[in-house]
Amino acid sequence: MTDTMTEKIVFTRGVPPPEAFPTEQMGECFDAAVRGDAATVLQYGQQRGYAPLRRQLAEEYGVSETEILVGNGSLQLQDLVASYLSGPGTVVYTEQPSYDRAIKTFRRRAAQAIGIPLEEDGISVDRLEAALEREVPAFVYLVPDFQNPAGATLSLEKRRRIVELAVEHDFWVIEDVPYRKLRYEGEDLPLLREIDASRVITMSSFSKLLSPGIRVGFMIAPEPLIDAVTALGEDTYLAPVLPTQAAVAEFMGRGLLGPNIERLKELYTPRWKTMSDAVRRELPDAQAFIPGGGFFVSVMLPEDANTTNLVGRGKDAGLVLTPGAAFFADPGDGEAVPGDRFVRLPFCAVTPGQIEEGVKRLASLL
């Protein structure tokens, strides 16, 4: 057994551990998908995504197949949407902090990404309303369920107000929900699109539910927007990766996804509880975001904590951290960005013993 006192403990990327993968079942589904429909899945085409998978998703979400686009991971779809909706001279609003890859994507498309402070129940609606008085964005990007990186979940009251604001001010809301089905306690809140879908783009993927390597993500939006993003995607990559999409369709068609999600909950729940308890015990003075699901717990360290070169000192102590500043967009109102005090703590790919030791090492650095 590895000694957790001496091993390197990695609190960086939110990735599934190898034991999370349904390896045998996925292998069977790949084989059946390719052998059963080779003329389709090994060829160019199906620019909107593999038709059987789109049908399954349309049925699940109660929409038309014309409102579904399946692509090569949700981040690529975000990039295409950002390319279509934003550009030089536009702004987009994100939670502050927010998913670092999304912030990079929006900036790459020359939009200014401005962060709206995150509260325990999601983005500050008061601050969002104030920002809207100054400038209406191309879109607002949210991770409403078990947010990456903080773990916060958007309250029902805020969900309702945000879709009202989107209609009133005529901007899009991207709700990115890859963690939504990994709930360990409590009850689901409605998707924003279930409240009012007219200005909502829903995105998700199978990266956390099956495998990130298969690169299967999807978006749900009004048909004209799906048409435009599909055309942009075809100009970018010709066609989606159909073998993986077909394997996912086969997996779902066999009724395997629901049981696999329950298996993942059984695997992750003890790790989630261990991380939550360790943060409360070892970092009592920090503002902790303790989610009811997902992949991340996070903390905002007190102002008097020793955060100087925290990542470097952590590495010396065998603790690998992501720099907190990576998760922050441009601040609004010229306020300071407390990135040096923010720490994201992924728990799914580490064991309970590693979690306990890792949080102790973090506390000792402060």
Question: How far, in Å, CA of 299 to CA of 344, rounded?
Answer: 7
Question: How far, in Å, CA of 123 to CA of 127, rounded?
Answer: 8
> Other C-beta atoms within 10 Å of 251: how many?
25
Find, among 318, 279, 325, the residue nearest to 299 by Cα: 279
Q: Max alpha carbon distance in the chain (Å)?
A: 63
* H/E element, 292: none
pTM for this structure?
0.95
Helix, strand, coil percentages in the chain from 3-state DSSP, rounded to 5? 45, 15, 35
218: left (phi over 0), alpha (psi -120 to 50) or beta: beta
- Amino acid symbol at 241: V
**Residues 6 or more apart whose Cβ sits within 8 Å of residue 355:** 271, 274, 275, 278, 347
Tokens of 185: 């306690």
**Residues 6 or more apart whose Cβ sits within 8 Å of residue 104:** none
Q: In whole angstroms, how large is the CA radius of gyration of the chain? A: 21
Question: How far, in Å, CA of 81 to CA of 138, rounded?
Answer: 10
What three-state secondary structure class fits 303?
coil
Question: How far, in Å, CA of 192 to CA of 199, rounded?
Answer: 10
For residue 211, CA distances in Å to 12, 26, 69, 166 come to: 18, 9, 19, 33
> Other C-beta atoms within 10 Å of 135: how many?
12
| Helix locations, the chain, DSSP H | 23-36, 38-41, 51-61, 74-85, 100-108, 125-134, 156-169, 192-195, 223-237, 242-253, 257-282, 310-316, 352-364
CA 346, chain centre distance (Å): 12
Query: Please, which residues bridge with residue 96 across strands?
Result: 117
**Which string of DSSP letters, residue by residue, matches 280-333?**
HHH-TTSEEE--SBSSEEEEE--TTS--TTHHHHHHHTTEEE--GGGG--EEST
pLDDT of 335:
74
> With contact defined as beta carbons under 8 Å apart, do 97 and 149 qualify?
yes
Question: How far, in Å, CA of 352 to CA of 358, rounded?
Answer: 10
DSSP character at residue 294: S
Find, among 61, 33, 66, 37, the residue nearest to 49 by Cα: 66
pLDDT of 334:
65
pLDDT in tens, the chain (366 residues): 445 567 899 999 889 999 999 999 999 999 999 999 999 999 999 999 999 999 999 999 999 999 999 999 999 999 999 999 999 999 999 999 999 999 999 999 999 999 999 999 999 999 999 999 999 999 999 999 999 999 999 999 999 999 999 999 999 999 999 999 999 999 999 999 999 999 999 999 999 999 999 999 999 999 999 999 999 999 999 999 999 999 999 999 999 999 999 999 999 999 999 999 999 999 999 999 999 999 999 999 999 999 999 999 999 999 999 999 999 999 877 677 888 999 999 999 999 999 999 999 999 999
Question: How far, in Å, CA of 64 to CA of 48, rounded?
Answer: 13
- Amino acid symbol at 93: Y
**Residues 6 or more apart whose Cβ sits within 8 Å of residue 2:** none
